[in-house]
Structure 1
Amino acid sequence: MVHTTKGIVLRTVSYGETSVIALLYTELFGLQSYIVNGLRTAKKSSVKNNLFQASAILEMEVYHNELKSLQRIKGAKWHFLYQHIFFNIPKSAVALFMTELLQKVIRQPEHNPHLYSFIEDAYMQLDKADTKVTAGYPLFFALHLTSFLGFNIRDTYTSQKKILDLREGEFVKELPMHPYYIEERNSAMVSQLLKVMHPYELHNIDLPLTVRRELLEHILQFYALHIQDFGVLKSLPVLQEVLA
Structure 2
Amino acid sequence: MTHKTKGIVLRTIKYGETSVVVTIFTELFGVQTYMVNGVRTAKKSSAKANHFQPAAILDMIVYHNDLQSMQRIKEFKWDYLFDRVLSDVIKNSIALYMVELLQKCLPQPEQNTPLFYFCEDVLIQLDKANKSVTANFALYFSLQLTHFFGFKMNDDFNEQQNILDLQEGSFVKDQPAHPNFIDGELAMITSQLLKVMQPFELEDVKLHHDKRRLLLQHYQDYYALHIADFGKMKTLMILHEVLG
Same fold per superposition (TM over 0.5): yes
Letter in 2 for 1:143: L
Question: Structure 2: where are the runs of 5+ without partners?
Answer: none
Question: 2 CA distance for matches of 1:38 and 1:206?
Answer: 47
Question: 2 CA distance for matches of 1:3 and 1:102?
Answer: 24
Shift of 1:71: 0.4
Shift of 1:50: 1.6
Is 1:9 the counterpart of 2:28? The answer is no
Question: 1 CA distance for matches of 2:87 and 2:142?
Answer: 23
Question: 1 CA distance for matches of 2:155 and 2:75?
Answer: 44
Question: Structure 1: where are the runs of 5+ without partners?
Answer: none
Is 1:196 the counterpart of 2:201? The answer is no
Shift of 1:26: 0.4
Match of 2:180 in 1: 180
Map 1:214-229; keep pairs closer than 5 Å: 214-229=214-229
Shift of 1:107: 3.0
Match of 1:98 in 2: 98
Is 1:22 the counterpart of 2:13? The answer is no
Match of 2:152 in 1: 152
Match of 2:79 in 1: 79
Letter in 2 for 1:225: L
Letter in 2 for 1:82: F
Map 1:38-187; keep pairs closer than 5 Å: 38-42=38-42, 48-187=48-187
Letter in 2 for 1:229: D
Q: Secondary structure at the match of 2:220?
A: helix
Letter in 2 for 1:102: L
Q: Secondary structure at the match of 1:241?
A: helix
Question: 2 CA distance for matches of 1:89 and 1:49?
Answer: 20
Question: 1 CA distance for matches of 2:9 and 2:142?
Answer: 18
How many residue pairs match? The answer is 243
Shift of 1:16: 2.3
Q: Give the TM-score of the pair, scaled to structure 2.
A: 0.97
Match of 1:232 in 2: 232
Indicate the RMSD between aligned Cα atoms, in angstroms.
Answer: 1.3
Q: Percent identity?
A: 54
1:102-159 CA distances to partner (integer Å, 9 max, x unpaired)? 1111132111111001100010000001111111000000100000011111111122
Shift of 1:43: 8.4
